[in-house]
Amino acid sequence: MGRAAVKSIQIAVVSGLPLRSETFSTDNIIVGRAADVDLVLNHPEVSRRHCRLSREGDEWFIEDLESRRGTVVNGNRLSSRVTLRPGDQIRIGPVTVAFGVSSEERSAIWDAAPPVGAIRYQGESVDLIPLKANLVFGRGDEVDIDLNDPSVSRRHAKIELGPDGFRLFDLNSKTGAFVNGRRFVEHDLVIGDQIQLGSFCFLYDGKNCRRVPRVSVGRIVAVDLTKEGESGPILRQASFVAAPGQFIGILGPSGAGKTTLLNALSGLKPADGGKILIDQTDFYANLDRLRSLFGYVPQDDIVHADLTISQALTFAARLRLPAGTPRREIAKLVNQTISNLGLSDRANAKVDRLSGGQRKRVSVGVELLSRPPILFLDEPTSGLDPLAEFKVMELLRRLADNGCTVICTTHVMENVYLMDQVAIVSYGRVLFEGLPEEARAAFGVSRLTGLYGALQTREPQSLPNFQASLPPEIERSKPEVEPPPRPKKALSLPILLERQIAIFRADIKNPIMLLAQPMIIGVLVAFATNDAPLTQFYTYIATLWFGSSNSAQEIVRELPIYRRERLVGLSRWSYLASKFLWMGGLTTFQSLLLFVVIFVIHLGVHGAWQWQVLGLILLAFASTGIGLTISTFARSAIQAVMLVPLFLIPQIVFSGFSPPAYMMSPPILWVSQIMPSFASERVADVSFLIDQKITGDLITNYLTPYSNINNWYRSITKQRLLNGAIYTEKRPLWVAYLSLILWTLGGFAVSSWLLARKERA
């Protein structure tokens, strides 16, 4: 006689997590935090496989699976398997579920559930607790922070301010105190620490404890993702599942779609079709709000090679953390991050002196500063030797053990055993997701290294396809994931300028080259000629070269760093402004030093030097803008270097000095008049004549300037400059200065536009 059809059973979450219910039609239900269990309870205090519910005949039984926090049914802690009755309440760690309730009973339980406990500080209900003195947390009248919930002891925990910052103590509480999912007795608080006292969760930001809905997120469910490329589909109905605190590797041959899948999961380049839920919240529909939940480490290093590890992480932390975060707290965060990376003995070493594996760990460390619950990495072991590869993978394993969901692409199989799960990708599909040892059986290989060969010998249509289904929709309108409001970040421009100075000072060759270039060129020019107009020509051409060559590689060589910092909120305007101010300042210094060297050797300056100096300053920033435009246009540093001469040579040809402007005719003259070198020549021409009497000697000494200005004057007034008259016409100066200002503003605008295009690309 066949077995009777299995009746469905409903289990509802009633406290400890957002309210929801799920219906099961199986005889065996595993409850826990892992991705492969039947009822997933995404909480760090729930064990991966916490308890089992099983049906025998018409009866249901429950047993604890040696969980860390135990399982309690109707107030009684389980020590063996017991029978369940409809309506029983099961406490699984801090989460309570109702077993076998009808829809009406479930709604009644939810409606009767007490409101979330209130937090009272100084007599007021608050969600943000400022840490200015020693505070005691508990339930009652004798505490500073009143947490109104039975799970909180009367004196539960306290925070004390010491010389090294804030320290958290557990006061022998009944239910324990937890930081980052781990129970503690004493703990030095570090920015990003997640604190749980009873059912209350807080996030420490260096100055305050902010209440958050929960201490852990990170369950990802992606279904039927599709992505089109230029030559066809890249992703074909790809599905993926990740549980909180898991280390998952996305494996597959080159061109299989691994990076495309990673970019779709992270929201960096969303899929064209399909859906992704993060803890049952639609990721793409809430992308801007939820993007702060993840960290992303690209294949390229995202740290400046000239800085030390400590400097690089400190600047990265200052750019990411809220305005007003104490420097002491930033230092604690950086020191702890370096320690977690296993690089404490190399903290003061420059990044460019580290091994490939150590540099990759520093790149990971940049992302860990914001303590993301989800971390994506694209080929983190690419190009590393076996030992360095193992160190990186071991670090990722530790991060997952501490509650971070780690997802990385890789084609290396040697350290797959460190992962909780692997997802096999080929032909744009996820063929398999599960335990590494199960993957061998699924594809009929004795070792995972034989997987790629097995994929190549089978037709795409014969390969399996991993299927995932979306969990039941949340029955309450509020999304399950509700990140805390993003605090106002520090003004980034001063930090970026300070970082530029640190990079410049990191290598003694930088200031040597800064000084040597204008001094050597100045000496050569001064000894080569005493002709004042020719000297001015050399000076502004050198300034154009200083500015464009200084800036041409500035952005393109650190583009991976910029792209990652943009994702954490860096302003494009602040970034470009820091480059303009810094590189423009350096170019101005070089230009004026060149001017002074020639002045000293020639024992004086011909013409009105103040107009010449102002013109050189404006030209320095205009040429910087041109260099940054080249840098944002070029695809590589080498390409940027090659583009600089294409800009400089026309500046010489169309400067109006050789050939002189008065010998030019349209359309050559029209082209010349828009060049920054032409504006600089016009400034030089006027500076030799301004407030001077037009005489034969003046014309002889400054033939080209006189002829250029005389030609301009005749085109405006229909008269020539008269001998014996004092020249006072300054209009050519203002037009030239305006032209240089427009070149500067235009360079900024075009650089911004090109940089935005690189972001989209």
Asked if the model's pLDDT at residue 290 lies above 90, the reply is no
What b-and-e string marks burial along 177-210, b requiring 16 or more CB atoms within 10 Å of the CB?
Answer: bbbbbebeeebebbbbbbbbbbbbbbbbbbbebb
400-419 pLDDT, tens digit each = 887 789 999 987 788 888 89
Q: Are strands 39-40 and 28-32 parallel, antiparallel or unpaired?
A: parallel
DSSP annotation of 720 reads P
The SS3 of residue 452 is helix
Q: How far apart are CA 177 and CA 137, in angstroms?
A: 11
Asked if the model's pLDDT at residue 718 lies above 60, the reply is yes
Mean pLDDT of all residues in the chain? 87
The SS3 of residue 30 is strand
608-641 pLDDT, tens digit each = 999 999 999 999 999 999 999 999 999 999 999 9
From the CB of residue 32, how many other CB atoms can be counted at a distance below 10 Å?
Answer: 23
19-77 pLDDT, tens digit each = 788 889 889 999 998 767 889 887 767 888 999 999 998 899 999 999 988 899 998 99
Instruction: Answer whether 257's CB lies under 8 Å from 271's CB.
Output: no
Cis peptide before 380 (omega within 30 of 0): no
Which of 103-112, 207-216, 250-259, 612-621 bottoms out in mean pLDDT, i.e. has the lowest?
103-112
CA atoms within a 13 Å half-sphere pointing along the CA-CB vector of 10: 13
Asked if the model's pLDDT at residue 439 lies above 80, the reply is yes
The per-residue pLDDT for 476 is 39
Asked if the model's pLDDT at residue 477 lies above 50, the reply is no
Asked if the model's pLDDT at residue 4 lies above 50, the reply is no
Q: Is the pTM of this model over 0.75?
A: yes
Helix (H), strand (E) at residue 683: helix 676-689
381-399 pLDDT, tens digit each = 888 888 888 888 998 988 8
What b-and-e string marks burial along 362-390, b requiring 16 or more CB atoms within 10 Å of the CB?
Answer: bbbbbbbbbbbbbbbbbbbbeebeeebbb
Give how far the C-alpha of residue 393 lies from the chain's centroid of Cα atoms, to the nearest Å: 21
Asked if the model's pLDDT at residue 475 lies above 50, the reply is no
Q: Going edge to edge, which strands form the sheet with 124-125?
A: 124-125, 119-121, 145-147, 135-138, 157-162, 165-170, 186-188
492-546 pLDDT, tens digit each = 999 999 999 999 999 999 999 999 999 999 999 999 999 999 999 999 999 999 9
Name the E strands within 139-193.
145-147, 157-162, 165-170, 177-179, 182-183, 186-188
Q: How far apart are CA 761 and CA 461, in angstroms?
A: 32
- Rounded mean pLDDT of 596-612? 92
From the CB of residue 3, how many other CB atoms can be counted at a distance below 10 Å?
Answer: 7
Q: Of 472, 475, 455, 473, nearest to 464 (Cα)?
A: 455
Q: How far apart are CA 754 and CA 746, in angstroms?
A: 12
Q: How far apart are CA 146 and CA 124, in angstroms?
A: 10
User: What are the phi and psi torsion angles at 711 (to 5°)?
Assistant: -65, -40
Q: Going edge to edge, which strands form the sheet with 51-56?
A: 39-40, 28-32, 51-56, 59-64, 82-84
Q: How far apart are CA 79 and CA 77, in angstroms?
A: 7
222-233 pLDDT, tens digit each = 999 999 887 778
186-218 pLDDT, tens digit each = 999 999 888 888 778 898 988 899 988 765 666
